[in-house]
Amino acid sequence: MNATSIPLHRSSARIGLSLFGLFVLLVLWSLGIHVLGKSMPLAGALSPSDTFHSLYDLLARNELTRHTLTSLKRVMVSLLAALALGVPIGVAVGSSRALDSSTSGAFQFLRMISPLSWMPIAVMIFGIGDAPIYFLLTITAVWPIILNTSAGVRQLNPRWLLLARSLSATRGEILWRIVVPGTLGHVLTGVRVAIGMIWILLIPCEMLGVSSGLGYFILDTRDRLAYSELMAAIVLIGALGFLLDALAQRLHRHWVPAGTD
Amino acid sequence: MSKPTPMLHPAVLEASHIALSYGHAGRATNVVLRDFSLQLKAGEVVAVLGPSGVGKSSLLRVLAGLQTPDNGGVRVHGESLKGPHPRVGLVFQDPCLLPWLTLEENVGFGLDFRHQPVLDAKTRRERVRDAIAEVDLQHALGHYPSELSGGMAQRVALARCLARQPEILLLDEPFSALDEITRGDMQTLLQQITARHKTAAVLVTHDIDEALVLADRIALLGGQPGGLIGEWRIEQPHPRDAVAAELTRVRVEIVQALRDARRAGSPPAELQRAVA
């Protein structure tokens, strides 16, 4: 009885504290608008009440669906591309000490360059449209996936590999039955970090000559002087980011039993 | 006593003149094992006993086809061993369970590998269930390794080996990490299993009592580099009591042989003892 009631009590306390934190954020937001309103009459449009009213209107009129779906599609396509590139590279780097040593300097160098710096070059190469966005988001997401996958391969218990060898496993069987499941936890941690980074970078990328997506919608509201809608889009971006992260966390818990990491 | 002919007592596993060393480029080679030979007959349990660092685990890896010796070779049913053999099962010092698989999946792990004998899904499932029943873990089929105690995990490792219906079991100090009571239970279980299936086994251990309780024959490794410094045949019926007078006498001889080897710095002339 106690064993179940204690975690329940703890989780409800955690949710309570989390809601309290959101409430404090809302109060600070209102206070900020109140202070700003004295010197800037337009600030009223950025208030929580106007924002949530606009958000409700936009959702009710279905105006955000297309932009949201476009943005989510860009996230997913880029994430899949980053996985397709990053996992094999990570497995190779994690398996070979020589490859690890020869690539670590280059990877750390490339990783530290803000992906937005590539923007002019991406437009030059890919033109305007979805392609440069996919490129920028993919190179954003690929580093945490490569680094986490290679760390996952390096931490594989050598006894698991010995066990597989003792059962006459082929190279393919070792890869699919030991390496892939044994590194899944690390890959999903990489995915979680990558989703966060993609989501942050998506908005500025969508301000880049495209006609849909939440980033585009923000520029559009600015041009229409629809500031409460702009704030509504910001709130929606925060909420979607929060949900995406929660989803990645849930996937990790679902697919990775305790002790695998 | 005349040497038994292979026709009368065919060896299921035969290791001849095994030598093992470790060395790195530019560094002196460290010889851990020199000229070790062993014949294992069907259904026979041989304990390879010796202090740490004498090359016991390396020897077992050689017998499992996982390591190539510097000299000598291993034959299974007269055929030279080129790699892991499907009828040879290996149990490690730690259970080595895969944390993302349930108990049942761990036991069945590898049964469908390409180089294993082909089994249909029904047979595979039966083999797994039978092996789990042998180690008495039917109640925990869906448990993950993180939910198992040390003793349960080692029983799963044993079941994983049994599901292969091995003719030869190679055990690398499989119970050394367990508490005394669990270790005793596991030794009894292993003895019953090897007797029931007439499985031959090589048990590597540094625990003299374990060797005395389980083995039909004890091969003692010692010296630097390691080599065979004594061999004893134990013909006491099971279940055995490690403090029984005859076993105590062998125990004293083993300890004395180890002391002599340490004092001499190299192995003395091979000892041959038979305890009726």
Q: Tell me: do B248 and B185 sit in the same domain.
A: yes
Cβ–Cβ gap A257/B115 under 8 Å: no
Tokens of A157: 């218990």
Q: Tell me: do B179 and B70 sit in the same domain.
A: yes
Q: Tell me: do B245 and B175 sit in the same domain.
A: yes
- A238-253 as b/e, with b when 16 or more CB fall inside 10 Å? eebbeebeeebeeebe
Contact list, A173 vs chain B (CB under 8 Å): 113-114
Give pLDDT tens digits for A27-55.
999 999 888 888 887 777 888 988 999 99
pLDDT at A248 over 70: yes
CATH number at residue B226: 3.40.50.300
User: Does residue B49 fall inside a structural domain?
Assistant: yes
Q: Give me the domain span that covers residue B184.
A: 7-31+40-87+167-256+271-275
Whether chain B has a CB inside 8 Å of the CB on A260: the answer is yes
Q: Which residue of B has its CA nearest to A173?
A: B113
Q: Tell me: do B139 and B230 sit in the same domain.
A: no
Q: What integer is the mean pLDDT of A96-121?
A: 90
What pLDDT does B262 receive?
Answer: 73
pLDDT interval class at A3 (50, 70, 90): very low
Cβ–Cβ gap A159/B66 under 8 Å: no
User: Does residue B103 fall inside a structural domain?
Assistant: yes
User: Does residue B265 fall inside a structural domain?
Assistant: no
Could you say which of B148, B165, B182 is where a domain stops? Answer: B165
Cβ–Cβ gap B66/A165 under 8 Å: yes
Cβ–Cβ gap A184/B100 under 8 Å: yes
Which of the residues B60, B76, B105, B113 would you substitute to probe the A interface, choosing the one with the greatest number of A C-beta atoms within 10 Å?
Answer: B113
Contact list, A157 vs chain B (CB under 8 Å): 96
What pLDDT does A192 receive?
Answer: 92
Nearest to A173 among B90, B99, B114 (CB): B114
Burial degree of B194 (CB within 10 A; 0-12, 13-18, 19+): buried
In the 3-class helix/strand/coil scheme, how is chain B assigned residue by residue?
A: CCCCCCCCCCEEEEEEEEEEEECCCCCCCEEEEEEEEEEEECCCEEEEECCCCCCHHHHHHHHCCCCCCCEEEEEECCEECCCCCCCEEEECCCCCCCCCCCHHHHHHCCCCCCCCCCCCHHHHHHHHHHHHHHCCCHHHCCCCHHHCCHHHHHHHHHHHHHCCCCCEEEEECCCCCCCHHHHHHHHHHHHHHHHHHCCEEEEEECCHHHHHHHCCEEEEEECCCEEEEEEEEECCCCCCCCCCHHHHHHHHHHHHHHHHHHHHCCCCCCCEEEEC
Whether chain A has a CB inside 8 Å of the CB on B96: the answer is yes
Q: Tell me: do B110 and B206 sit in the same domain.
A: no
- The rounded distance, in Å, linking the Cα atoms of A44 and A49 is 9
Q: Tell me: do B198 and B241 sit in the same domain.
A: yes
User: Does residue B228 fall inside a structural domain?
Assistant: yes
Whether chain B has a CB inside 8 Å of the CB on A160: the answer is yes
Cβ–Cβ gap B113/A160 under 8 Å: no
Sign (positive/negative) of CA torsion A110, A261, B101, B195?
A: positive
The ipTM is 0.81
Contact list, A260 vs chain B (CB under 8 Å): 99-100
Cβ–Cβ gap B109/A177 under 8 Å: yes
What pLDDT tens digit does each residue of chain B (276 aa) get? Answer: 344 444 445 788 999 999 888 765 555 567 788 888 999 998 899 999 888 777 888 889 999 999 888 888 999 988 888 888 888 999 988 899 999 999 999 999 989 998 888 888 899 999 999 999 988 899 999 999 999 998 899 999 999 998 988 999 999 988 888 888 888 888 888 898 888 888 999 999 988 888 998 999 999 988 777 788 888 898 888 888 777 778 888 888 888 888 887 776 654 444 444 443
> Which residue type occupies A155?
Q
Q: Tell me: do B102 and B221 sit in the same domain.
A: no
Contact list, B96 vs chain A (CB under 8 Å): 157, 159-160, 162-163
Whether chain B has a CB inside 8 Å of the CB on A180: the answer is no
Q: Tell me: do B174 and B250 sit in the same domain.
A: yes
Q: Tell me: do B227 and B160 sit in the same domain.
A: no
Contact list, A162 vs chain B (CB under 8 Å): 66, 92, 96
Q: What integer is the mean pLDDT of A197-223?
A: 89
Q: Tell me: do B107 and B152 sit in the same domain.
A: yes
User: Does residue B248 fall inside a structural domain?
Assistant: yes
Could you say which of B165, B191, B212 is where a domain stops? Answer: B165
Could you say which of B165, B195, B227 is where a domain stops? Answer: B165
pLDDT at A2 over 80: no
User: Does residue B264 fall inside a structural domain?
Assistant: no
Percent of chain A exceeding pLDDT 70 equals: 95
Whether chain A has a CB inside 8 Å of the CB on B113: the answer is yes
User: Does residue B262 fall inside a structural domain?
Assistant: no
User: Does residue B2 fall inside a structural domain?
Assistant: no
Contact list, A156 vs chain B (CB under 8 Å): none
Q: Tell me: do B72 and B209 sit in the same domain.
A: yes
Q: What integer is the mean pLDDT of A109-136?
A: 90
pLDDT interval class at A4 (50, 70, 90): very low
Q: What distance in Å separates residue B147's CA from the closest CA in chain A?
A: 9
Q: Tell me: do B23 and B124 sit in the same domain.
A: no
Indicate the number of domains in chain B.
2
What pLDDT does A259 receive?
Answer: 62
